[in-house]
Amino acid sequence: MRLDDQVTVTCTDTEKEMPGTVVRMRGEWVDVSIGELLISLRRAKPGLWVGSKAGMEFTIKAAA
């Protein structure tokens, strides 16, 4: 995953998928923009990023 990559963000609570854009990367963290919403996700294991916003959990599965 790289800066400005388009990624698919999945809400694990609703199983809905939405497109997002990587806007910031720092260490084990990545920030993804979905429209005006910004979600910070932490690498849980190689290829899996997990974060939460408004009480809901979001994931990104990327190449390890």
What type of residue sits at position 58? Answer: F
| Percent of the chain surpassing pLDDT 90 | 94
Give the mean pLDDT of 33-58. 95
Name the nearest CA neighbour of 24 among 12, 35, 33, 16: 33
What pLDDT is recorded for position 36?
92
Give the mean pLDDT of 19-47. 95
Extract the tokens encoding 27. 């260490």
In sequence order, the β-bridge partners of residue 30 are 25, 41
What pLDDT is recorded for position 62?
83
Q: Which residue has the higher pLDDT, 62 or 31?
A: 31
What pLDDT is recorded for position 64?
63
Element holding 54 (H helix, E strand)? none
